[in-house]
A and B are shown apart, each in its own frame.
Chain A
C-alpha cells in the first residue's frame, strides 16, 4: 500500500530518506478509491434503515424551511389586500399560523436529524476505532517493525479524529447545503419561471468557480500539512533533545532552521488564507450581483404587473439562502479532504493480512499442556530471499533444558528466538513444540506455552501489581506477590510509596531500568510458560541488579525450557548447554564446561572474558 520513492529535499541539513508518500497523501481526492468506498459501505450497512429514516427527516425539515419565505410571499400577496379592503385579517392569520407550524416542524425535525445523524456517526466512529485497533493488534510483529509505532498511533488518533471532525461539523452542513440549493432552485422556478431563470444564470459560473477553488485548496492544504509537520518535528526534537542542543551549542543553528521552517509554514498558510480571501467575496459578489439583477428585472416585471411584490420579496429571501451554503461548503472542504485521506489510510491498514495467521483448525498439544520440547526441522529464514539469516537449521531442545545462545551481532540469535515465539514464521522447514507445528497452535495456547522477555521491558500505565498481573490477568493478589518474591523483586516493591499499588508512571518512568526489568521478570514468572526466552534481558542492568536477576533466574529456569541470549558471558554460566552461532549456523554445541575445555570459539571468548575479569 505504500509507494516508496527517493525524495531529495532542498534543505541539506535534513538529509535524504525514503519518504512514505502515503503519509503526505499525495493525491488527496474527495473521490474515494475503491477500498475506501468498500470500507465506508461496510461501515454504513448496519444503519440502512436509520439512514432511510434520516433522509425522510431531512427532506421534511428542508421542505418546512423552504416553505417559510414562500409563505411570507403568500402573506404579502394574499393577506394584505383583504386587510386594505377592511375585510379582516383572517387570511393573514392563517398564513402566520402555517408559518409558525412550519417553523416548529423544522426545529423538531432538525433536532431529530442532528441527533440521529450524530448517533450514527459516533457509532460508526466507535466501530472504526474498534476494528482498526483490533486489526493492529492482530497484525504480526514484522508488520509493526516496518510500519513503526508512530504511524500506528497517528492512524488511531489523528486519522480517526479527522473523520470525527467531518461527522461533527461537515456532514450536517453538506447535506443541508446541497438540499437547500436544489430546493431553492426548484422553488424559484416554480414561483416565477422568468425571474427564476434570471436568478439562476450565474449558477454555472458559481460551479466553475467552486471547482477552481476546490482544486487550488487541495494543493494548498497539502502544502500546509507538509510544512506544519516539519515545524512540529523540529520543535519536538529540539525540546526532547534540549540537553544535547545546549551541551553542543546548537541553539543558533536550530534557530536558523526553525525560522526557515516556520516561514515556509507561514507562506503555506498565507496561500490558503489568500485563496479564501478570493473565494468568499467572489461568492458574495455573484450573490449580490444576482440580487441586483433580480431587483431590476423583478422590479420591471412587477411594474408591468407580471409578478407580485410578494414574489419579489420571496426571491430576495430565497437568494440569501441560495448563496450562503456555498461558502459553508468551501469552509469544510478541507475537513472533507482530510477525512477522505484518513479513510484511505485506514482502509489500507485494514486490508493488511497478518503474516503470521491463526490456524483454521487449531491442533491441541499432546497432553493438553505444553512440556516444552522445542525442535527446528530444516528451518530456513530470510527477509530477502538471496540473503538468508538462517540457511538451514536443525536443532532439538529437550523439555526443561536451559540453552545459552552466543555469537556476534547478526549471527541469527534473535531470529531464532523470534521463530520459537512465532513472531515470524520460517520461510522453509518447521518449528515444533512438543511435536506440533507452531503454525497449528492457536494464539492462546502458544502464548501460554512460550513467553519472551526482551531488553525493552515495557511497563503499562497502572500499578506495579497491574503490570505483574499482565502475565496472567486472573492471578490473585497473593499469586502476584509470590511471583515478585520468587524473582527477588518483593523487597523493592514493598519499599515503594504505595507498595504494589504504586503507579509506575508513564512507561514506568518512575522506576529505574533495573526495577522495570525485575517487574518484567515477575510478569514472565507469573505467566508460567513451558518455554521462556530471554533476549538480552539483562544487558541494561548495572552489576548489582544483574546479580540480583541472575539469582532469580536460577529459580525461574528450574523446570522449564529456556533460551538465553546475552552478549555478556556472565549469563551463560547458568545454562545447561551452549550454542555458538555464526552466520545463521550452529558452529559449536555442548555443555559449557566441555566447550571451555575444547579449543573452539567459545573457549576463546571465555578466555577473553576471564581476562577482562582478572583486570578487576
Chain B
C-alpha cells in the first residue's frame, strides 16, 4: 500500500467513501432536519422581498393605493427579519453536527493509526497522515457542512427564481435562463483549470519548502563550507518557479472574475431594454420590471458558485477516499487472547525468517536462539545485518514472516498485546522523546509508577541531570520544550525501559552516544538490572558486550555463532573484525603501540 503521491481524477457521484461517513451524522438527525428547514424558509424569504417591492410599486405608488403601503412595507421588514433569523438558525444549529463529525472522525482516525503496526508507519510519512487528519477532514467538514447545503439551496433557488421569472413574463425569463448557460459553462471550465494550476503551485511550494527545510536543518554544513550563495541560487530558482505559476493563476482568475461580472450586467441591460418595451406595450408592469432586475441579480451568485461548489464536492470525495484508505487498512498485528500470569522470561526464537513485503532478499532467515530466564545475550553484527529487526520482533512491533517466537512456551502471537508488551521493554538506539514533561516521558506506559520507582530508574540510567532541569521532572522536553543532548536522551530512554520493570529487557545499542565515563557508570548499574531480567543487548563496542552472559553473532541475516565473548574472539575472525578496535594496528604505523 504505497502512499499516493497524486490524486486520481474520479467521476462524480461514485462517492463511496464520503457516503460511508454519513453514519457520523446520525446522532444529529433532528438538527439536520432543522437546518434544512431553515435553509428552505430562508430562500423563500429572500425571494419574497423583490416580489413585495413589485407590489409596492404597482399598488400604492402607481395606483395611489396608499393604504396598502404601510402593511406591505412592514411585511417586507418582517420577511427581511425572518430571512436573517433563518440564516442565524441554520448557521448556529450547524455548529454541533459539523464539528462533531470532524472531531469524531479525527478521534477514530487517531485511534486506528495507533493500532496500525510499524510496517504501516514505515511506509507512510507522518506528514501524509497529518494532512489526512487536518486538511482532508476540514475539506470534508466544509463540504458536508456548507457545500452540500449550498449546492442544494443554490439549485433550489435557481429553479424557483427561473420559474418565477418565466411565469412573470416568459420572454424575459427565458433571456435570464439563457444567460446562465455561459456562466455555468465557464465556471466549470475555470474550476477545472484552476484546480490544475493550484496543484502545480502547491507542488512547487512543496519543493520550495523542502529546500527551506534543508537550508535550516543543514545550516551548519552550509556555513562550514561557506555555501550561502550556492544554496541561495537553488532556492531562488525554485522561488521563481512558484512566482511564474502563481502569475498564471492570477491571470486565469482575473479573466474569470472579469467575465463573471460582465454577463449579469449585459443581461441587465437586455432585461431593461426588452422589459421597458414590454412595459410600453403593457405586457409587464413597472413594478414587475423592477422586481425582474433585482431577482435577476439574486441569481448571479448561485450560478457562479456552482462551479466552485462542484469542485469542492470533488475535493471532498478525494479527501474522503484518502481518509478511508487509512481507515480501511486492517491492522496486520492483532493480539491473541492469552496472558502469562507469572512470566519468567524464557525467550526462544524458533526458525525466524523475515522479509519486507515485495523484497526478494530476506533480512533474517533461520534464526534460532534461546535465552533462559535471567540470562543476557549480546547480539553482534555489522550494520545492516538485521539486529534491529530481530529486536523489534519480540514485542511484535513487526511479525516474522517465518517461524515463531515464544515466551515461557507461549507463542507471542497468542498473547494479548498489552500482556506481551508489559513483559518486554525496549530502549531504542534513537530514543523518541515526546513534547511532554520528563515524568510523562519516563512513565510512558506505566502511569502508576511511584516517585521512588522513577528515582530508582533515573539512578540506574545515570540520568540524574533531570533533577537539575529548570522545573525538575515537570520540565517539558522534546521538540516543543527543552532540547537535550544525544547522551541525555539515550539515558532517558534507558530509564524509561528500566522503569517498566520488564521480565525481558531489550537494549538496542542504547549506549552509543554516551561518553566513556558515563557509559561505565551506566553499565555498572545495568548489571544489577540485568541480573534479575532476561536481556537482549545489541552492541557495537566490546564494553557493552561484556554486560552479556553470551554473545550471538548475526551475519547475513542469521545467527552463525553463539558463545562467550572471549571464545568468539579467539575462534571467529569475523567477530574479531567487528569488535576488536585495535585489529588493524600495524606496529609500523600505529603511534600508540
A118-B227 contact, Cβ under 8 Å, with A80-B276, A292-B73: no
Q: Are B209 and A157 in contact (CB under 8 A)?
A: yes
Q: Are B220 and A76 in contact (CB under 8 A)?
A: no
Q: Are A246 and B397 in contact (CB under 8 A)?
A: yes
Does A289 sit at the interface, judged by CB under 8 A? yes
Q: Are B84 and A242 in contact (CB under 8 A)?
A: no
Inside 8 A of A609's CB, which chain B residues have their CB? 516
Q: Are B432 and A244 in contact (CB under 8 A)?
A: yes
Q: Are B103 and A15 in contact (CB under 8 A)?
A: no
Measured in the bound complex, the distance between the Cα atoms of B60 and A239 in whole Å is 71
Partner-binding segment picked from A183-191, A257-265, A380-388: A257-265
Does A312 sit at the interface, judged by CB under 8 A? yes
User: Which residue of chain B has the shortest Cβ distance to A95 in the bound complex?
Assistant: B272
Does B12 sit at the interface, judged by CB under 8 A? no
Q: What distance in Å separates the Cβ of A517 from its nearest Cβ neighbour in chain B?
A: 12
> Which of B107, B392, B431, B476 contacts A16, CB < 8 Å?
B476
A447-B273 contact, Cβ under 8 Å, with A274-B92, A291-B76: no
Does A266 sit at the interface, judged by CB under 8 A? yes
Q: Are A296 and B57 in contact (CB under 8 A)?
A: no
Inside 8 A of A248's CB, which chain B residues have their CB? 421, 425, 444-446, 496, 500
Partner-binding segment picked from B285-293, B309-317, B453-461: B285-293
A423-B432 contact, Cβ under 8 Å, with A233-B479, A246-B421, A292-B76: no
Does B436 sit at the interface, judged by CB under 8 A? yes
Most buried by B among A12, A240, A451, A471: A240
- B100-117 at interface with A (beta carbon < 8 Å): 100, 102-103, 106-107, 110-111, 113-115, 117
Q: A149-B219, A317-B294 are known contacts; what are 19 more A-B pairs with Cβ within 8 Å?
A: A12-B437, A14-B476, A15-B437, A16-B476, A99-B268, A100-B266, A115-B251, A126-B243, A152-B212, A247-B421, A251-B114, A277-B94, A281-B86, A285-B85, A292-B73, A443-B228, A452-B224, A458-B214, A608-B516
Q: Are A242 and B225 in contact (CB under 8 A)?
A: no
Q: Are B516 and A133 in contact (CB under 8 A)?
A: no
Q: Are A238 and B114 in contact (CB under 8 A)?
A: yes
Most buried by A among B293, B297, B424: B293
Does A552 sit at the interface, judged by CB under 8 A? no
Inside 8 A of A458's CB, which chain B residues have their CB? 214, 217-218, 220-221
Does B13 sit at the interface, judged by CB under 8 A? no
Inside 8 A of B186's CB, which chain A residues have their CB? none
Inside 8 A of A287's CB, which chain B residues have their CB? 80
> Which of A17, A280, A473, A540 contacts B227, CB < 8 Å?
A473
User: Which residue of chain A has the shortest Cβ distance to B239 in the bound complex?
Assistant: A129
Q: Are A157 and B212 in contact (CB under 8 A)?
A: yes
User: Which residue of chain B has the shortest Cβ distance to A157 in the bound complex?
Assistant: B209
Subset of 24 A-B contacts with CB under 8 Å = A15-B438, A15-B440, A93-B273, A107-B265, A118-B247, A125-B243, A126-B240, A136-B215, A237-B478, A239-B121, A246-B117, A258-B110, A259-B107, A293-B73, A295-B76, A309-B57, A408-B517, A470-B221, A473-B230, A513-B383, A523-B225, A543-B580, A615-B543, A616-B581
A76-B118 contact, Cβ under 8 Å, with A111-B258, A235-B110, A299-B73: no
Does A393 sit at the interface, judged by CB under 8 A? no
> Which of B49, B235, B482, B580 contacts A288, CB < 8 Å?
B49
Does A30 sit at the interface, judged by CB under 8 A? no
Does A421 sit at the interface, judged by CB under 8 A? yes
Q: Are B290 and A312 in contact (CB under 8 A)?
A: yes
Q: Are A133 and B235 in contact (CB under 8 A)?
A: yes
Does B178 sit at the interface, judged by CB under 8 A? no
Q: What distance in Å separates the Cβ of B124 from its nearest Cβ neighbour in chain A?
A: 8
Q: Are B80 and A107 in contact (CB under 8 A)?
A: no
Does B283 sit at the interface, judged by CB under 8 A? no
Measured in the bound complex, the distance between the Cα atoms of B77 and A299 in whole Å is 14
Inside 8 A of B543's CB, which chain A residues have their CB? 612, 615
Does B126 sit at the interface, judged by CB under 8 A? yes
Measured in the bound complex, the distance between the Cα atoms of B277 and A282 in whole Å is 39
What are the 9 closest A-B residue pairs judged by CB atoms, nearest first? A447-B226, A288-B80, A15-B437, A118-B250, A296-B73, A15-B476, A292-B77, A114-B254, A277-B91
Does A254 sit at the interface, judged by CB under 8 A? yes
> Which of B69, B84, B103, B221 contacts A282, CB < 8 Å?
B84
Q: What distance in Å separates the Cβ of A228 from its nearest Cβ neighbour in chain B?
A: 8
Binary CB contact string for chain A from 536 to 552 against chain B (1 if under 8 A, 0 otherwise): 00011011110100010
Measured in the bound complex, the distance between the Cα atoms of B226 and A448 in whole Å is 8
Q: Are A273 and B95 in contact (CB under 8 A)?
A: yes
Does A461 sit at the interface, judged by CB under 8 A? yes
- B219-249 at interface with A (beta carbon < 8 Å): 219-228, 230-232, 235-236, 239-240, 242-243, 246-247
> Which of B230, B436, B579 contacts A543, CB < 8 Å?
B579
Q: Are B516 and A567 in contact (CB under 8 A)?
A: yes
Measured in the bound complex, the distance between the Cα atoms of B121 and A240 in whole Å is 8
Q: Are B80 and A72 in contact (CB under 8 A)?
A: no
> Which of B246, B383, B591 contacts A545, CB < 8 Å?
B383
> Which of A148, A153, A520, A593 contacts B591, CB < 8 Å?
A593
Q: What distance in Å separates the Cβ of A404 from its nearest Cβ neighbour in chain B?
A: 11
Inside 8 A of B110's CB, which chain A residues have their CB? 235, 238, 254-255, 258, 262
Measured in the bound complex, the distance between the Cα atoms of B500 and A543 in whole Å is 32
Binding site secondary structure of chain B: helix
Does B52 sit at the interface, judged by CB under 8 A? yes
Q: Are B445 and A249 in contact (CB under 8 A)?
A: yes
Interface size class of A (residues with CB under 8 A): 35 or more
Q: Are B475 and A300 in contact (CB under 8 A)?
A: no
Q: Are A89 and B276 in contact (CB under 8 A)?
A: yes
Partner-binding segment picked from A370-378, A475-483, A568-576: A568-576
Measured in the bound complex, the distance between the Cα atoms of B273 and A99 in whole Å is 11
Inside 8 A of A292's CB, which chain B residues have their CB? 73-74, 76-77, 80
Q: What distance in Å separates the Cβ of A593 from its nearest Cβ neighbour in chain B?
A: 7
Inside 8 A of A612's CB, which chain B residues have their CB? 542-543
Does B262 sit at the interface, judged by CB under 8 A? yes
Q: Are A15 and B477 in contact (CB under 8 A)?
A: yes
Inside 8 A of A284's CB, which chain B residues have their CB? 83-84, 87
A80-B80 contact, Cβ under 8 Å, with A134-B232, A573-B590: no
Does A241 sit at the interface, judged by CB under 8 A? yes
User: Which residue of chain A has the shortest Cβ distance to B98 in the bound complex?
Assistant: A273
Q: Are B474 and A241 in contact (CB under 8 A)?
A: no
Q: Are A540 and B512 in contact (CB under 8 A)?
A: yes
Q: Are B272 and A75 in contact (CB under 8 A)?
A: yes
Partner-binding segment picked from A137-145, A192-200, A333-341: A137-145
Q: What distance in Å separates the Cβ of A331 from its nearest Cβ neighbour in chain B?
A: 12
Does B40 sit at the interface, judged by CB under 8 A? no
Does A236 sit at the interface, judged by CB under 8 A? yes
Does A349 sit at the interface, judged by CB under 8 A? no
- A324-359 at interface with B (beta carbon < 8 Å): none
Does A215 sit at the interface, judged by CB under 8 A? no
User: Which residue of chain A has the shortest Cβ distance to B58 in the bound complex?
Assistant: A309
Binary CB contact string for chain B from 58 to 80 against chain A (1 if under 8 A, 0 otherwise): 00111010100110111011011
Does A320 sit at the interface, judged by CB under 8 A? yes
User: Which residue of chain A has the shortest Cβ distance to B585 in the bound complex?
Assistant: A573
Measured in the bound complex, the distance between the Cα atoms of B399 and A198 in whole Å is 78
Does B14 sit at the interface, judged by CB under 8 A? no
Measured in the bound complex, the distance between the Cα atoms of B126 and A296 in whole Å is 62
Q: What distance in Å separates the Cβ of B267 from its nearest Cβ neighbour in chain A?
A: 9
Does B56 sit at the interface, judged by CB under 8 A? yes
User: Which residue of chain A has the shortest Cβ distance to B102 in the bound complex?
Assistant: A266
Does B428 sit at the interface, judged by CB under 8 A? yes
> Which of B52, B53, B99, B425 contacts A273, CB < 8 Å?
B99
Does A360 sit at the interface, judged by CB under 8 A? no
Does B360 sit at the interface, judged by CB under 8 A? no
Measured in the bound complex, the distance between the Cα atoms of B395 and A326 in whole Å is 60
Q: Are A13 and B436 in contact (CB under 8 A)?
A: yes
Most buried by B among A242, A280, A513: A242
Partner-binding segment picked from B129-137, B156-164, B346-354, B367-375: B129-137
Does B422 sit at the interface, judged by CB under 8 A? yes
Q: Are B225 and A471 in contact (CB under 8 A)?
A: yes
Inside 8 A of A446's CB, which chain B residues have their CB? 226
